[in-house]
Amino acid sequence: MRITGRGWDQDGIRVATEHSNIESRALMPTQFQDVTQFSTIDGTKEPEFFRRFVDAANRSPGIIASKTAILAGLRLKGGEKVLDLGCGLGDDAFEMARLVGSQGRVVGLDASETMISEARQRAQARDLTVQFEIGDAQALRFEDDTFDACRAERMLMHVPDADRAIREMVRVTRPGGRLSVFDLDFETLMIDSPYVEITRRITRSFCDGLKNGWIGRQLSRLLKQRGIADISAAPHTVVMSCPELELLLSGHLDHAQNAGIITAADAEKW
């Protein structure tokens, strides 16, 4: 296969071991949305919530630290062509554009029109050339070997077919190029709460609600199956504060109640 010999320097098996103390109160404000529905942002009741969610997550110390590792895995020196899959609001694409310089090229792609529209607006305030477009990571429009490097952060857990998306990453990255992928394993989500069984039901429901809740542990295998060489995997722990955890899980509580996983009393107690 054409992917033989493609280099990959930094994979994203980042074990999301998340811990926080939970206040005993209901976390069900109406403005929250279920973030397990990230793959259908534009069709949700409040797409703007997901923009706020991404901005808040990107300010988390654990996520900031992970971004440094992802960028290091790309080993950008200047002049490269780079693809940022699941680019969201574009902040990481801007950083890469500064590194590759005027001789390089950065393309940011996201499935959400909401995200791409905001990324384009933010790009106007910067003196950087970044191309943002709406697209499907499972069916990229680019020719084979278009990019020197490809980046994906917290995207594969939301993609219906993660293996197909990885296949596309490999296809559009030149032989000897670099992939840097970071994603979470939500089966390892840990929360300190006095309500042990309720917490177990909520965290498991959240993990199962994602398209690929186990993707963190699966990345090495999926990449090896696509012929990727020189795989380097490193675990990463994200510690979340109570407000961050509230933002992550509150919108999912309605789903958990509607599905009969927890009761309204359980949610109120939790």
pLDDT digits (tens, 9 = 90+) for 93-140: 999 999 999 999 999 999 999 999 999 999 998 888 899 999 999 999
Looking at residues 17-27, what average pLDDT do you find?
30
Q: Is 56 a residue whose pLDDT tops 80?
A: yes
Q: Which are the contacts of 198, defined by CB distance < 8 A and separation ≥ 6?
A: 262, 266, 269, 270
Please identify, in words, the CATH class of the domain defined by 35-269. alpha beta
Q: In the structure, what pLDDT confidence band is assigned to residue 5 with cuts at 50, 70 and 90?
A: very low
Looking at residue 183, the DSSP 8-state letter turns out to be B
pLDDT of residue 45: 87
Matching residue, tokens 């177990």: 200
Instruction: Assess contact for 99 and 76: CB atoms under 8 A.
Output: yes
Q: Which are the contacts of 3, defined by CB distance < 8 A and separation ≥ 6?
A: 170, 171, 226, 227, 228
Q: Is 145 a residue whose pLDDT tops 90?
A: yes
pLDDT of residue 31: 75
pLDDT of residue 29: 41
Q: Is 150 a residue whose pLDDT tops 50?
A: yes
Greatest alpha-carbon pair distance for the chain in Å reads 59
Looking at residue 105, the DSSP 8-state letter turns out to be E
Q: Is 4 a residue whose pLDDT tops 80?
A: no
pLDDT of residue 129: 84
Q: Is 14 a residue whose pLDDT tops 70?
A: no
CA 132 – CA 127 distance, rounded (Å):
15
Phi-psi region of 5 (alpha: psi -120 to 50; beta: other; left: phi over 0): left
Q: In the structure, what pLDDT confidence band is assigned to residue 19 with cuts at 50, 70 and 90?
A: very low
Residue 179 identity: L
Other beta carbons within 10 Å of 26: 13
Looking at residues 54-75, what average pLDDT do you find?
96
Q: Which are the contacts of 241, defined by CB distance < 8 A and separation ≥ 6?
A: 20
Average model confidence (pLDDT) for the chain?
Answer: 89
Q: In the structure, what pLDDT confidence band is assigned to residue 144 with cuts at 50, 70 and 90?
A: very high
pTM over 0.85: yes
Q: Is 24 a residue whose pLDDT tops 60?
A: no
